[in-house]
Amino acid sequence: MLGGGQLGRMFTVAARTLGYRVIVLEPDLHSPAAQFADEHIIAPYDDQTALALFGKACDVVTTEFENIPAATLEFLAQYCPVRPSANAVKMAQDRIVEKEFVRSCGLSPVPFATIRTPADIAAAQGSVTYPAILKTARFGYDGKGQVTVKSAQEAEAAFAELGQVDCVLEQRVELEREISVILARSTRGEVRCFPVAENEHRNGILHQTIVPARIDSKLAEAAQTASARMAEQLAFVGVMAVEFFLTRQGELLVNEMAPRTHNSGHYTLDACITSQFEQQVRMVCELPFGDTRLLSPVVMVNLLGDVWHDAQPDWLALLQSANTKLHLYGKREARVGRKMGHYCTLAADTDSAIQEAEHIFQQLQ
């Protein structure tokens, strides 16, 4: 496992449960994933000496996040299979490349313009109207590297503030809902999708996921079909997520993809026959698919460092809910905006799950 955060941690638990030994390569001494791994190689992702030791010791390599340098994955591929491939991961590392890829699949991204120079902002006024969002093309996540702008002048100021790195200027669309699809694709090219999730973000960070998504079944099927098409075009192997915007006009727009397990798929740990993490193990190790069926309506709520204040939250308030499952990530320090854990509330119907999950969250504030 390249990367030692919470996604790597939950993958490691799933792999160990299935009897595999796991080596984590991660520069952080206190890596959440390393707490469950058989071995932890503490090294930067571009340390070729460490990578060679890692590659020689592994039968297969996978990753937990898309900002691993593509050169690292290419280097490791000389020692063992790397799933997903460097090419698939590279596609998600640059928003400009990603959006052009979405178009090449015959799908619709959010309307955008490529911004490489200040002059591009003026030229974009024919294709993007304000308000809009200026996003860095690389290394942006959870609302980082994004600025909402209401005019070309504000866009120019934001571009300067972001260091005039390559950006995309995205149209603000009238949102009905945000949804996501978690899918798995095998080495044989077969695809299985998990139930479509409905997502609510706060301050650019996922707050809660509701499953099943409260959308028409035809839209859910269209999102799954679009996601499978993208995975096929990438020759992807593993588990990936695709996020969509559903507009008030009924358009289904691709927001972005993640070539890995995803925050909006955490509900699968408690509410599906197979979790996204077990499915990742199955795909990269060439095992059969696990069943993706939903066992119960569920709401997943992220626990950010904001609720820690100066001490641990009172978990008893959460654990008194017999149908709520707590997952903490083993991070040593809580910070505002940092993902520290999540919980899943299951119920007989979606409305009950939403109500109980929100009641728990208010108690933890």
Write the pLDDT tens digit of every residue in 316-350.
989 999 999 999 999 999 999 999 999 999 999 99
- pTM for this entry: 0.94
pLDDT band at 67 (very low <50, low <70, confident <90, very high): confident
Pick the CATH number of 111-171 from 2.60.40.10, 3.30.1490.20, 1.20.120.160, 2.60.120.10: 3.30.1490.20
Percentage above 90 pLDDT, the chain: 87
**pLDDT tens-digit map of 78-90:** 999 999 999 999 8
Say what the pLDDT of residue 146 is.
86
Domain 175-364: top CATH class: alpha beta
The H-assigned helical ranges of the chain are 6-17, 48-57, 70-76, 86-91, 95-104, 118-123, 152-161, 217-234, 268-271, 276-284, 316-319, 350-364
CB 339, CB 307: distance < 8 Å: no
Q: 25 exposed, middle or buried (CB, 10 Å; 0-12, 13-18, 19+)?
A: buried
Nearest to 162 by CA among 111, 96, 206, 118: 118
Mean pLDDT in residue range 16-23:
98
Domain boundary assignment for the chain = 6-82, 111-171, 175-364
Task: Determine the Cα–Cα distance for residues 94 and 55; give it in Å rounded to an integer.
Answer: 26
Say what the pLDDT of residue 140 is.
59
Mean pLDDT of the chain: 95
Nearest to 208 by CA among 304, 97, 68, 91: 304
Would you identify the CATH topology of the domain 6-82? Rossmann fold (3.40.50)
**Res. 11: pLDDT tops 90:** yes
**pLDDT tens-digit map of 221-256:** 999 999 999 999 999 999 999 999 999 999 999 999
Strand partners, 185: 191, 238
pLDDT band at 141 (very low <50, low <70, confident <90, very high): low
* Dihedral angle sign, alpha carbons of residues 241, 247, 251, 256: negative
